Chain A
């Protein structure tokens, strides 16, 4: 049986660990709430923007616009949104599983240290890596988007896709790949968006009259498309952050629970060892007393 001092030291160690994981759990909980809030508050805007673009969908067929026209895909452009820190369960591992199916001509842009580590280790073509802080302000996200749009216009990449972890609920987060550019299939994109936000889409009135553009159509279309991509990427990053924090919260909760169980077991072991030592001592004393009397 282990000696009592060893056990006592282990108990102390486990207690410290539990304290840390508990604190991390609480931090993640509050961060998750904030991330969820900001992801939610951006939804009406994203939806309305998509609706505006959607109402154009009948009108854009003859448009020769970079953002709407498809071209042969030589290099897919993929933005990977991962976390900076670990200790969030299988979140990043699940995310990277999607990436392993993508063929090697694709070019990547990463957000988060984990993604850039993974991509360079897997010897993928990493164009740039960005870091976005916890609150994911629009200003930081904008740099990423502008880089993507620029590469798209330069034809370094022929699509803009984003791989992120979508937030289903606190316990379930699913990695997902979403194509943002070119904007070809507006109707199905709208449908998906409505499904994701759980909004009713039957209220859109059909107006068949010709749309008036102020100023010219092409200018508005280009700006709307750019705004849409920016907004969409920002929204998805916020969602990825909500996923990260809830994954971390769950991971830390189970770590805290495990530490608790371990502590119970160790305490039992410690008490047993202590009692055994006492019994042993009494036995020795009484044996010595008995030997003296005879």
Chain B
């Protein structure tokens, strides 16, 4: 018996496959889900998602959101997600730099709180990519 993992963002369905195990960061710490897990709804933190499939391990980076485990279905709702295989370190470093610069600038020239929050989310997501990529090796 395996798990179905769906990762959905407002822009698209990013990931939808059957997997063996999945681990993700929640507001209360990391949770690792195996088949027959009890139903769970948790707040997802920005960070890395570790997916075990056969003897392969995949790493994905996600932003904040929610996780639902229901039956043998794991649904992850998040604002953004990316498979870290698809990006390289240089892009990530640049993204982090850009995000932090934008954030600094934003805080100086008092733009509204929602916009700052958005920039922070971008920075967190870039960091999450770096972490996920670091763990992969």
Q: Which of B38, B68, B72, B115 gathers most chain A CB within 10 Å?
A: B68
A71 within 8 Å of B (CB atoms)? no
B83 within 8 Å of A (CB atoms)? no
A-B pairs, 3 with minimum CB distance: A205-B71, A214-B42, A211-B39
Collect the chain B residues with CB atoms within 8 Å of residue A55's CB.
Answer: 39, 68, 70
Q: How many residues of chain B have a CB within 8 Å of chain A?
A: 28
B41, A213: Cβ atoms closer than 8 Å: yes
Collect the chain A residues with CB atoms within 8 Å of residue B66's CB.
Answer: 52, 220, 223-224, 227
A207 within 8 Å of B (CB atoms)? yes
Stretch at the interface among A28-36, A40-48, A91-99, A177-185: A40-48
Residue of B nearest to A42 (CB): B10
A49 and B8 alpha carbons, distance in the complex (Å):
9
Collect the chain A residues with CB atoms within 8 Å of residue B6's CB.
Answer: 48
A52, B10: Cβ atoms closer than 8 Å: no
Stretch at the interface among A116-124, A137-145, A189-197: A137-145
A211, B40: Cβ atoms closer than 8 Å: yes
B75, A48: Cβ atoms closer than 8 Å: yes
A214, B40: Cβ atoms closer than 8 Å: yes
14 residue pairs bridging A and B, Cβ less than 8 Å apart: A41-B10, A42-B11, A44-B8, A44-B13, A48-B6, A52-B41, A207-B39, A211-B39, A212-B38, A213-B40, A214-B42, A214-B43, A215-B27, A224-B41
Residue of A nearest to B42 (CB): A214
A171 and B127 alpha carbons, distance in the complex (Å):
46
Task: From the candidates A41, A49, A209, name the one contacting B77 in the complex (CB within 8 A).
Answer: A49
Interfacial residues of chain A within 25-79, with CB under 8 A of chain B in the complex: 41-42, 44-45, 48-49, 51-52, 55-56
B1 within 8 Å of A (CB atoms)? no
A152 and B68 alpha carbons, distance in the complex (Å):
27
Residue of B nearest to A211 (CB): B39
A292 within 8 Å of B (CB atoms)? no
Collect the chain B residues with CB atoms within 8 Å of residue A214's CB.
Answer: 26-28, 31, 40-43
Collect the chain B residues with CB atoms within 8 Å of residue A209's CB.
Answer: 38-39
- Taking chain A's interface residues, is the majority helix, strand, or loop, or is none over half, making it mixed? helix
Task: From the candidates A52, A56, A210, A231, name the one contacting B75 in the complex (CB within 8 A).
Answer: A52
Residue of A nearest to B113 (CB): A146
Contact A207/B70 with A45-B77, A48-B8 known, Cβ cut-off 8 Å = yes
Collect the chain B residues with CB atoms within 8 Å of residue A45's CB.
Answer: 8-10, 77
Task: From the candidates A42, A138, A212, name the one contacting B39 in the complex (CB within 8 A).
Answer: A212
B107 within 8 Å of A (CB atoms)? no
Contact A210/B10 with A52-B77, A139-B115 known, Cβ cut-off 8 Å = no
B28, A215: Cβ atoms closer than 8 Å: yes
Residue of B nearest to A38 (CB): B11
Residue of B nearest to A46 (CB): B10
Interfacial residues of chain A within 195-219, with CB under 8 A of chain B in the complex: 205-207, 209-215, 219
Collect the chain A residues with CB atoms within 8 Å of residue B118's CB.
Answer: 139
Contact mask B4-32 → A, CB, 8 Å, 1/0?
Answer: 00101111110000000000001110010
Collect the chain A residues with CB atoms within 8 Å of residue B42's CB.
Answer: 213-215, 220
Collect the chain A residues with CB atoms within 8 Å of residue B28's CB.
Answer: 214-215
Collect the chain B residues with CB atoms within 8 Å of residue A52's CB.
Answer: 41, 66, 68, 75, 77
A234 and B79 alpha carbons, distance in the complex (Å):
14
- Report A51 CB to chain B, min CB distance, Å: 7
A206 and B8 alpha carbons, distance in the complex (Å):
21
New A-B contacts (9) at CB < 8 Å, excluding given A51-B75, A211-B38, A215-B27: A55-B68, A142-B114, A146-B114, A206-B71, A209-B39, A211-B40, A212-B40, A214-B43, A231-B10
A205 and B8 alpha carbons, distance in the complex (Å):
19
